[in-house]
Structure 1
């Protein structure tokens, strides 16, 4: 339906924007001035510590001066609740007490037709529910009891049962003045082309309705109750109201909990989604038997910046994840990605919950791998790199994959990250070939490494003892530049001007700056063969730090002082982006502070040889600047420490 601007303006004028936005934020009382229609809050679209999100009721607009998000009433509902534009208009018009305009005849016909088909689906829902509660539904009742589904869950998800027989549903709905043609159109009947009578699509199946974003039943999923029945799960076909490629199971229930928690979970089947919802993981949706589509990806990003795709860890689950990767990469944009949690082989979410409770499921979700790691594993886990030609083939495959990313900034970051990893992989291969005395870990992937790979990497990553007072700050900063390439790129100009007291750190950062500058030129071999071999020591330290612990018993043997996440324990708490950037910039400030101290020492020596009014003024200015910068650094350190403590306490409370 199309709406004219006057109608939309009437809604904006009748519904307070601060009331709409106020559902999602807490206004800052010190900064807001309600009398002037001026409201401030922390942004609901990104993590921040001070209010930069502004609502101007006089203009009916909102804008975040931190992340740039802006819009009006309708866009806010679309972004925070996952509504389409017509749905947002309809909800706000209802709040304002304004009737929707009469649609044009053609649109009215389509809407009436859609409503008619959803009404038929709702009638089928009620029929299946009644059969489940009857003696005819005994086998299905026993099955849901074995699955541990509560009465509340059965009611919430509207479970039903399609009894055996060719035309039970057909007979029941024809008696309610539903036509055979309508039942065929909505996918509940199958009409043979040879002229035989139509028959029920779903027979002897536990029935689960599939709803659209507005909570209307539009299709069904049915699980066979016959031990030998095939297929095990059967979905409705594509119909005028059901499009598998644009829909997600449970989306109408999950979107608000997912947005509120900042975490959306995607599982393979609707029984998985129901199992997680029953134990309190409400922000869970399921795919509907098709590969991920761009529509589904964009929909999920409205609920969470990095939804977690939770698949079985068997061959089929990993293959499904790898297919999803190809769909996701072209759609990547700043701040939007996916994570992947692979459950233990042979287990689904229900198995994990039954074995270890909801805490075990949360633990699996927390171990989710970022998209970039899944890309790396897929491309390298089976790759052979024992000849120049095979190295070149792997590099080309990686480059081709990165080339599918449409966002140039994201593409550049992926290219740098993957080239660094390829360089390390090729370096380790060359070390292996030099003899047993210098044997190193494989480095080819995150899951199927040979026993001992972590220890080999740990050995390679061990560094010499600190030799300068700023060693720890410099090492942490070097490694953070690798682990957080978006920060390296964002603050590149500042980073390129820094100096380091340790010669290894100076060499490393000089090389990293040159790599970033020459990124578009040459192959991995051409660029990295020219690097000092010591470059790889820090590179491997970052790789060890960024890889998840796969074996807690082994992890205790890898607690080295020089691994970044052991030195900066707060990084293990998955801190928000603004905290990581604050920490990163605090290290840069400390390095600049050391540069300023050296400059002051130089100026002091110069004055001892030749004191002039100009040198004295320069000395005084440097001294004042140094004092101010020291105070700023100390204040930032204290603030980071306080936030870090609160973060750990909150995480501990959630786990408890």
Structure 2
């Protein structure tokens, strides 16, 4: 095994043991108060741990297991001080293990009690890069292999909270809103399900991150959904308040494409008082609309016509024109025209009271 990976493995073992042995400490108390106390159980597949508030505890542990100082530094677990001692990078923090696509422990993400930064990552090393690792992957590899739907969230606490809802979901996190192509491929590599759910925080950064992820996930998964959270709430906070609230949110998903359409329309709101702005907004969202499932396009035609104050035939014409520029997979212009016609008529003829 790579020496750097081995060093991270030994560090994870120490951190895990420290958390279990400090059930009266702030880290265990924090997890219990947030309904995440199952992480303290010895049978938990999540390697959640605690980095003790001592400069050399981890270094001494690694040395006693035959890891030399050069490896400790190269693994990003400690740094030399001006006086020549090695000081541990993670101290007095709850730790989560980050794994690479081969499921190797390559680094850590660690949460502080109150200091800044709240989350601290392993610095980039020969085995760890933030954009090429995920937290939660190994803990739920069996669940993913059994068909659990991946749920991509921002933080480690969020991922763990999702995992506690049941075997049908697997919380994974890139540790932030910047999901990378490599991380998307990691999820696809280990997930059997052909669906994926984005559940970033309900703030500007989270919404923008969810939108960006669409281009990465859509080529890899048949269905890309978004679960929207209440304003200023994250999954872990929602779970802490009431697990049922998070379960409800994760069940009330919609296509991420529809979310992206709404976000794009919102960018044009200031120019929708004149025809040129209305048409420009329609042309901006058309490439997204034509990628929707067939049974949802007709509804979008009616909705866009009402929102943009345009005739439905104008909306349909722009969508048809868009097919030639950016065709929907497996759909011809004739197919789309039929979708538009059927969907529009179905929507118009529905019972107003339904």
2:127 maps to 1:241: yes
Partners of 1:538 and 1:135 lie apart in 2 by 60
Kindly state the Cα deviation for residue 419 of structure 1 after the two structures are TM-superposed: 10
Partners of 2:343 and 2:165 lie apart in 1 by 43
Deviations 1:412-450 (A, max 9, x none): 645998898478535554479xxxxxxxxxxxxxxxxxx
Structure 1 or 2: larger strand share? 2
What SS does the corresponding residue of 2:304 show, helix, strand or coil?
Answer: helix
Kindly state the Cα deviation for residue 265 of structure 1 after the two structures are TM-superposed: 1.5
Q: Is the 8 A contact 1:136 1:163 kept in 2?
A: no
2:351 maps to 1:561: yes
2:59 maps to 1:177: no
Structure 1 or 2: larger helix share? 1
Deviations 1:229-260 (A, max 9, x none): 00111111222222322322121232432343
2:212 maps to 1:323: yes
Counterparts of 1:186-585 in structure 2 under 5 Å?
186-191=75-80, 197-213=85-101, 215-225=103-113, 227=114, 229-261=115-147, 263-281=149-167, 283-289=170-176, 291-302=178-189, 303=191, 304-328=193-217, 332=219, 336-358=222-244, 360-383=245-268, 384-398=271-285, 413=291, 421=300, 425-426=304-305, 428-430=307-309, 489=331, 512-513=337-338, 539=344, 542=347, 561=351
Kindly state the Cα deviation for residue 539 of structure 1 after the two structures are TM-superposed: 2.5
Return closer, same or farther for 1:283/1:423 CA change in 2, 3 Å cut-off.
closer
For 1:572, the equivalent position in structure 2 comes to none
For 1:141, the equivalent position in structure 2 comes to 28
Deviations 1:102-144 (A, max 9, x none): xxxxxxxxxx5x2x22211121122223333456972223222
Q: Is the 8 A contact 2:143 2:170 kept in 1?
A: yes
Structure number with greater CO (CA < 8 Å, separation at least 6) is 2
Pair member with larger Rg:
1
What SS does the corresponding residue of 1:141 show, helix, strand or coil?
Answer: helix
Partners of 2:266 and 2:177 lie apart in 1 by 26
What SS does the corresponding residue of 1:339 show, helix, strand or coil?
Answer: strand
Partners of 1:162 and 1:230 lie apart in 2 by 16
What SS does the corresponding residue of 1:219 show, helix, strand or coil?
Answer: strand
For 1:164, the equivalent position in structure 2 comes to 53
What SS does the corresponding residue of 2:41 show, helix, strand or coil?
Answer: helix
Deviations 1:317-365 (A, max 9, x none): 2122123234445xx26x624111111122222333344434x433212
Partners of 1:362 and 1:201 lie apart in 2 by 36
Equivalent residues, number: 332
Partners of 2:207 and 2:177 lie apart in 1 by 15
Partners of 1:307 and 1:189 lie apart in 2 by 36
Kindly state the Cα deviation for residue 379 of structure 1 after the two structures are TM-superposed: 0.6
Return closer, same or farther for 1:279/1:162 CA change in 2, 3 Å cut-off.
same
What SS does the corresponding residue of 1:261 show, helix, strand or coil?
Answer: coil
2:6 maps to 1:119: yes
Stretches of structure 1 that go unaligned for 5 or more consecutive residues are 1-111, 403-410, 433-484, 494-508, 517-534, 546-559, 567-656
Provide the alpha-carbon RMSD of the alignment. Answer: 4.0
Q: Is the 8 A contact 1:339 1:369 kept in 2?
A: yes
Deviations 1:488-507 (A, max 9, x none): 948958xxxxxxxxxxxxxx
Kindly state the Cα deviation for residue 153 of structure 1 after the two structures are TM-superposed: 7.0
Deviations 1:360-415 (A, max 9, x none): 4332122111022022111102313222332344245336x65xxxxxxxx96459
What SS does the corresponding residue of 1:346 show, helix, strand or coil?
Answer: coil
Return closer, same or farther for 1:337/1:374 CA change in 2, 3 Å cut-off.
same
What SS does the corresponding residue of 1:292 show, helix, strand or coil?
Answer: coil
Partners of 1:307 and 1:231 lie apart in 2 by 30
Q: Is the 8 A contact 2:50 2:93 kept in 1?
A: yes
Partners of 2:307 and 2:176 lie apart in 1 by 40
For 1:23, the equivalent position in structure 2 comes to none
Partners of 1:259 and 1:354 lie apart in 2 by 28
